[in-house]
Amino acid sequence: MDRVMKDVTPRSEDFSQWYVDVVTKADLIDYAPVKGFTVLKPYGYRIWELIQGFMDNRFKATGHQNAYFPVLIPESLLQREADHVEGFAPEVAWVTHGGAEELAERLAVRPTSEAVIGAMYSRWVQSYRDLPVLINQWCSVVRWERATRPFLRAREFLWQEGHTAHRTSAEAVAETEQMLRVYRETIEQELAIPTVAGPKSPGERFAGAVDTLTLEGLMGDGRALQLGTSHFLGQNFAQAFDIGFLDEDGVRRHCWTTSWGTSYRLIGALIMLHGDDRGLRLPPLVAPVQVVVVPIGKGAEREQAVLAAHALKAELAPAVRVTVDDRPEYTPGWKYSDWEMRGVPLRLELGPRDLAAGTVMAVRRDTGEKQSVARTALAGPEGEVSRLLRAIQQNLYEQARAFRNGMSYAVDDLAVVEAHGTRGLFWSHWCGEAACEARVKQETGATIRCLPFAGEWGPDAAREAGPCLGCGQTAPTPAVFARAY
C-alpha cells in the first residue's frame, strides 16, 4: 500500500478513526497547543472560503449586510434573556482578568452574539423607518465542549450568524423561512448534500427561540448532522434588550427578531458523507483544486510532459482551479494517492504516449473511471473538463441522496430502531409529549431531528398519522428520529 494511504483506517472498521485520519492526512487541520482547539490549515481554510463565498453572495442577494461585533460580552448583558443564558451556561468561557487587574465584571467569550447584538440594535432602532435591520457576521465563537472532534465539535469554531429585526411577526417569520432556504440551496447545490427540513421540537429548540427551523443531513455512518438552523425569536430578545421603535401610529412597539447560523462543521459533513477509504471526495464547486495535471516520464520525455502540463494549465485556468504536480522527488503513483486523499475531483495524466497521440488520460475521483480525451477537447465552458466536473458534482449528490433514501425507515416500534443499530433516519410520529421524546432518547439514543415540512422526501408509510414512537398512541405529527452528532 502507498505510504499516503497506509495510516488511514478503513471506514468500515472504525468510522470515527477513519474520519480523524482523513482530516489530518488530507492536511485540513492540525492540533493547537490548547486542548480542544485546532489550526485550520490553508487547504482546509480554502474549502471554508469557497463555502463562505457561495453563502455570502446569497446573503447579499437577499438584502443582508456584513458587520462585526465584539468577542467579549459582559455577564450582565448575557443574563438578560434567562432561557438563552441557561442554555449556554455550561459552555461559556469567561475572562476574569485584564492583564494583572481583576475585572469588576466577568466577560463571556462569545458563545453566540444575540446579547451584544441585541444591545446594539436597541440603540440603532428608534423608528419604524429604521426597520428591517438585516445583518450577518462572519466570526468565530467559543464553547467549552467536553468532547471535541475536528469541525464537528471544537472549543472554537468558525461560523456565520445572522441577526435581523423586523416591524411585524409575519416579516420575521418570512425571514426565518427564507434563510433556511438560502442554507438549503448552498448545502444541496454546492456541497452536494441532500437535506431534510422542518421545525425542531420544543425540547430541541435554540435557547430563547419561539421556533427553530433546521436542515438535517445523514452522514456515512448512519448518524444525522445538523447542518444549519434558522430561529424565529419572537419578541423575547427584543423585550430583554429593549429593541423598540416608534410605529407609524405613534405607539412604541418591540421588534420581532430572528437569528440564523451555520458553521464550518459543513466541512465535516463533506468528509463524512462523500469520503471513502482513499480520503476526501470533494464536490468540484467547493474543491480548492478542481483539476490536477500530473506529467509522467523520465529525462527529456518528462521535460516535454512538464512543459505540456503547464501549457494545459494555462488553457484551463480561466475556467477551473487547476494545478500541475511536477514534483520530481515523488513517483506518479505517490502523487495519485496524495491528490486522491485531498479529494481533487479530476486528475489529468500526461505522458509520452499521450503527447504522441494528442490525448490526455482523465481520471474521475468520484468513480475512478478513466478515459482518454483528445487534447483539443479539454478546455472551454463546453469542453470535456467542464463537462466532467459538472458530472462529478451531480453524481456525488445522486450517490448521497440514494444513500439517504436507502437508510430511511418508516417505523412505529422502538424495537425496529434498535434492530437497525440506530443507524439511519427513522420516520415516525410524535404525540407532542416531552416524556415520549425523552423515552425514545433514553432507550435508543435517537432524538427528534425535525418535524418535517409537508412535501419533504420520506418513506410513504410515514406521511399519514400513526402511532407515536414513544407511547404508541395515535399522533398526527410526523417526526424524524436519528442518533446525531
Task: Give the tens place of pLDDT for each residue, 366-375.
Answer: 999 999 999 9
d(CA 177, CA 193): 19
d(CA 22, CA 207): 34
Percent of the chain past pLDDT 90, that is, above it, reads: 93
d(CA 415, CA 167): 48
DSSP alpha helix (H) spans, 375-453: 384-406, 414-419, 434-444
Average pLDDT for 59-66: 98
pLDDT number for residue 460: 81
Residues 379 and 307 in one domain: yes
Percent of the chain past pLDDT 70, that is, above it, reads: 98
Residues 382 and 327 in one domain: yes
On the question of pLDDT at 54 being above 90, the answer is: yes
Dihedrals phi, psi of 480, to nearest 5 degrees: -105, 120
On the question of pLDDT at 6 being above 70, the answer is: no
Can you give the residue range of the structural domain that contains 430?
408-482
pLDDT number for residue 365: 98
pLDDT number for residue 72: 97
d(CA 231, CA 261): 9
On the question of pLDDT at 381 being above 80, the answer is: yes
On the question of pLDDT at 288 being above 70, the answer is: yes
pLDDT number for residue 88: 75
Contact in structure between 287 and 366 (CB atoms under 8 Å): no
Could you report the per-residue pLDDT of 131-188, keeping only the tens digit for each? 999 999 999 999 999 899 999 999 999 999 999 999 999 999 999 999 999 999 999 9
User: Per-residue confidence at 390, pLDDT binned at 50, 70, 90?
Assistant: very high
Could you report the per-residue pLDDT of 92-135, keeping only the tens digit for each? 999 999 999 999 999 999 999 999 999 999 999 999 999 999 99
Residues 77 and 186 in one domain: yes
On the question of pLDDT at 1 being above 50, the answer is: no
Residues 226 and 255 in one domain: yes
Instruction: Show Cβ contacts of residue 170 under 8 Å, excluding neighbours closer than 6 positions.
Output: none
Residues 84 and 23 in one domain: yes
Residues 475 and 350 in one domain: no
Total tally of structural domains belonging to the chain: 3
β strands within 167-240, DSSP E: 196-199, 211-218, 224-234
Measured in residues, the chain has a length of 485
Residues 165 and 244 in one domain: yes
Does residue 2 belong to any structural domain of this protein?
no
Residues 22 and 68 in one domain: yes
Residues 267 and 337 in one domain: no
On the question of pLDDT at 310 being above 90, the answer is: yes
Residues 148 and 257 in one domain: yes
User: What's the pTM?
Assistant: 0.95
Residues 444 and 296 in one domain: no
User: Per-residue confidence at 87, pLDDT binned at 50, 70, 90?
Assistant: confident
Average pLDDT for 273-293: 98
User: Per-residue confidence at 85, pLDDT binned at 50, 70, 90?
Assistant: low
pLDDT number for residue 79: 87
Residues 197 and 138 in one domain: yes
Could you report the per-residue pLDDT of 404-434, keeping only the tens digit for each? 999 999 999 999 999 999 999 999 999 999 9
Q: What value does the mean pLDDT of the chain take?
A: 95
